Structure 1
Amino acid sequence: MYRKAEVNLLKFDDQRTSDVAIRLRNKVGRQELYYSHSLILKSKSKYFADRLSNQSSHASVEIECSKFDYDRYVKLLKLLYLPSYSVLDTWDSVQSALGVLQVAETLQCEAVVNSCIQALPWEDIEEGEIVKVVSRLGPMAMPILARIQPVNINASKGVLISAIRLATSTDHPFPPFGDELRISAQEQVDFMLRDDEDMPLVTADNEVKREATIGLSNTFSLFERELSSVMKFDVTCTVAESKIMQNLSDLEWMCNILPKMGLMDEFVFKWIDLSDNVLLVVEDKKLENIMWRLKVKIIEVTSKVLDAVGYGNVILPAPRRVKLLKSWLPFIRKLKPILDSMIAKDMEFPYKMDEDTCQSIEGAIVSLVVALPSDDQADILADWMSTEHVTYPDLSEAFEVWSFRTKSAKRRLVAGLDSVEDAAVTL
């Protein structure tokens, strides 16, 4: 028998101290003899414990394996001599880990199997191979399968709620991360809501919706406070502008996630209610020739609202749609040519309404106008034609629709009157 100190000194394939010879042989004729020790084998492999239980010293064990498994068996035999299997963490390929895992399961090396399961490298592109191998291992493979099974809905909900809470936090920044943690949380929410077939079940949950609604309310409240503070500071204060720009970026982010939760109507109603106050600030004389970045960002957020209402994603009663248009159409119509003239004077002028935003706004406004009652359409179109800046947004299509409908309505009215007169004459 070996003493404990001597056991730690035993080396794989050491013929001098070996009492067991293991012959690996495959069907194509390759065979090699490896010298091992029964104490090591029996303590770490139930397979070898059974094979060697009734054999004398200097026994020989023959193992037949495929040509693919040959090197895996050798690697496993070497691993049995290690005091621990932390070396598995350094494997650089899924194939290597899976190969040893299969052999360890065959030879009933429980400790090696557990280490393989815990330290298995992970590559999404090899997920199919992983599933195929570990599914044959039975209950012991559950920790691996759990990593690739759809996550529990309650777990997803908890993560999403926490991420939304951080992403919409209006408290002081979390030291030492500052805004980085909040921005990272926003990215996490975006990732979770994108291309996940199970996520609609999570976003439909009332608790998730409630957290998103609270976050929206907090974000809007902070935006209102920062907006009102702009006029209290020196209008050239870049700090004040930077803060409110961050608020607007947060609101724009919420415009992207709320439709996936069915909550965009909450945003639209709040933006319409706040529109007069926003315009009161950005159209103030003090800001007439400054804070272009702020004004452009406000237009970009407004374009999200116009798009949601104009294309029917958010249904509003006619009076609210009229208010939305009459609040923002004049400002958009005025700001666009000013920005264009600034760019014409200085090609390096960085603030402009990009082409995609301009087209989106124009299309949404046309859709909004043609869906209004005829009298409201007439008011908006009359105002549009009376201004000197009629190039943007171009409401010609809306005017043509209104004209056609008006003429059709007039013809129907005349036809109706004629039929009434004919009926009177007949009587």
Structure 2
Amino acid sequence: METLVNNAGLPSTIGDRSTSDVVVRLRTQDGHDDWIYCHSHILVEKSKYFADRLSENWPTCQIIDSRNCVEVCCQESDFDHHVNFLRLLYIVKDGSVDDMWHGVKNALGILRVAVELGCLQIITACVNYLEAVPWDEAEEDEILRIIPGMGLQAEPILARLQPVNPSAVMGIFLTAIQFATSSPPPLMTDLKITAQEQLEYMITEDDDAPLLTAQDEIKSEAKECVKRLFARFINLLEKLLCEPTESVLEKGEIQSFLSYLSDFSWACQMLTKLEVMRDFVNSWVDGSDQIVKAVQQVGPIAEVEIKLKIIEVTAKVFEAIGYGTVILPTAKRLHMVKVWLPFVRGTKPFIDSVITSDEDALAVKFDGELWQSLESTFVAIVLALPSVDQAEILTEWLGNEHIRYPDLTEAFEVWCYRSKVAKRRLAVLKGNDGMVNNKL
């Protein structure tokens, strides 16, 4: 332990009874009572509290032994922090004792004591330490609970927790979304996924407000980034359709195919929250024929994973169409049903067979609720088509061996009812029109 020199030129060490001229008596309500032999010149120089207590102006300074014993009452949980504080009075110099804190929790405790007993040097040393070291979540919560009540002297500790100005948030969002949709090399996949997760977190409203709102600049950049991503995907599809399967597999393009599909699944989440899903939906509709053909080209090696990812993305596209988030003309909606109904119908039993034969297969991880959701959107889209198109789809469905999925029973029932009452309902409508015209 480092020692200080008193006014007489003698070394001063905490606990040295032979040179001590004052006792600090630490007491708690639980009965913990400890006497620590100290030196008044150190206490007075370093601590305002002790300077006041040992001053001749203190009301009890004339009482016998009042200047030889200073009593400090504290909580049991802070007892050790008070002891450490007194020790630090003897070694702290120029606001720096980098190796004496033994962790964030201990430094916080000493900081509380230093503020209470008025030692600027130890306050500065604690603040410098806490501001520089990493915190875990529990320590961060403790800092947020304690530090704001300590005033300006402790404010630097909170610098890393301060809200960032909107322009900085905007800048990191735009940079992150450009990276997240840039199709980086496989070695950077983890970084890309992290960027995607944090982008979604930034615009999600949970217990706290989103970091930024869906401004026009954000929407525009998100659409452009996904547009460029889809353009690269189409280029890959064209390669898959033109090259032999063996050549495609050798070049690793199947993995790229999977990566694009994963990115699209994430992009749908982002675009939906930003309410700019239209462009992607139109792109997926226009590319549907190529996508389905490309899947037939990949072969069995990655067939399960690719089909699962395609179903995942298609379900999100269908949801946007089926529930009116994106309005498409009749021809495009009918085209989507005719392309994807056979694909989904054949994929479901294939995936089910994989699950049955291999419980550890990736397919097991597929969300079963997605099949139900996809079936519901098929029904919604079919029911929004002209009745003659509905009749064509339902006729094909009733004669197909895979009639169980997707189950279009609800669409069939509604179509039958509408068809049966159509003449009567339209006749009533025309009759009402005639009555209105006569009155006019």
Sort the TM-score into its range (normalised by shorter chain): 0.7 to 0.9
Contact 1:231 1:281 in 2 (8 A): yes
Letter in 1 for 2:214: A
Partner of 2:392: 379
CA gap of 1:47–1:210, structure 2 versus 1, over 3 A, is farther
For the aligned residue pairs, the C-alpha RMSD in angstroms reads 3.9
Match of 2:195 among 181, 185, 199: 185
Partner of 2:73: 65
Alignment partners' CA distance in 1, 2:137 and 2:253: 45
Q: Which runs of 5+ in 2 are unaligned?
A: 58-66, 436-440
Match of 2:119 among 81, 97, 109: 109
Alignment partners' CA distance in 2, 1:351 and 1:229: 27
TM-score by length of 2: 0.77
Partner of 1:401: 414
CA shift, 1:119, in A, is 4.4
Partner of 1:315: 327
Residue 142 in 1 paired to residue 152 in 2? Answer: no
Partner of 1:425: none
Question: Counterparts in 2 of 1:153-192, with a 5 A limit?
Answer: 153-172=166-185, 178-192=188-202
CA shift, 1:305, in A, is 0.9
Deviations 1:329-364 (A, max 9, x none): 2322244345556777x5579576763332221111
Partner of 2:63: none
Letter in 1 for 2:418: R
Alignment partners' CA distance in 2, 1:279 and 1:268: 16
User: Which SS does the other structure have where 1:327 is aligned?
Assistant: helix
Alignment partners' CA distance in 1, 2:49 and 2:172: 44
Partner of 1:304: 316
Alignment partners' CA distance in 2, 1:318 and 1:88: 74
CA gap of 1:349–1:48, structure 2 versus 1, over 3 A, is closer
Alignment partners' CA distance in 2, 1:101 and 1:356: 53
Alignment partners' CA distance in 2, 1:341 and 1:227: 27
CA shift, 1:273, in A, is 2.0
CA gap of 1:397–1:102, structure 2 versus 1, over 3 A, is same
Alignment partners' CA distance in 1, 2:179 and 2:204: 19
- Higher mean alpha-carbon deviation, 367-376 vs 198-207, is at 198-207
Alignment partners' CA distance in 2, 1:416 and 1:171: 60
Residue 82 in 1 paired to residue 91 in 2? Answer: yes
CA shift, 1:296, in A, is 3.5
Residue 13 in 1 paired to residue 15 in 2? Answer: yes
Match of 1:263 among 276, 286, 294: 276
Partner of 2:383: 370
Contact 1:374 1:402 in 2 (8 A): yes
CA gap of 1:418–1:172, structure 2 versus 1, over 3 A, is closer
CA gap of 1:419–1:233, structure 2 versus 1, over 3 A, is closer
Q: How many residues align?
A: 410
- Higher mean alpha-carbon deviation, 146-155 vs 216-225, is at 146-155
CA shift, 1:245, in A, is 0.9
Alignment partners' CA distance in 2, 1:124 and 1:196: 19
Alignment partners' CA distance in 2, 1:320 and 1:202: 34
Contact 1:76 1:100 in 2 (8 A): yes
Partner of 2:214: 204
User: Which SS does the other structure have where 1:323 is aligned?
Assistant: helix
CA shift, 1:412, in A, is 2.1
- Higher mean alpha-carbon deviation, 106-115 vs 399-408, is at 106-115
Contact 1:23 1:60 in 2 (8 A): no
Alignment partners' CA distance in 1, 2:342 and 2:52: 88
CA gap of 1:31–1:298, structure 2 versus 1, over 3 A, is closer
Q: Which runs of 5+ in 1 are unaligned?
A: 423-427
Alignment partners' CA distance in 2, 1:157 and 1:421: 60
CA gap of 1:170–1:417, structure 2 versus 1, over 3 A, is closer
Contact 1:203 1:260 in 2 (8 A): no
Question: Identity of aligned pairs, percent?
Answer: 41
Match of 2:234 among 224, 244, 248: 224
Letter in 2 for 1:169: S
Contact 2:14 2:90 in 1 (8 A): yes
Deviations 1:76-121 (A, max 9, x none): 111223343324653263xx44432221112222232244345458
Alignment partners' CA distance in 1, 2:217 and 2:299: 44
CA shift, 1:404, in A, is 1.0
Deviations 1:272-323 (A, max 9, x none): 122122233334xx55766523233222211121122223333334333223
CA gap of 1:201–1:124, structure 2 versus 1, over 3 A, is closer
Residue 292 in 1 paired to residue 294 in 2? Answer: no
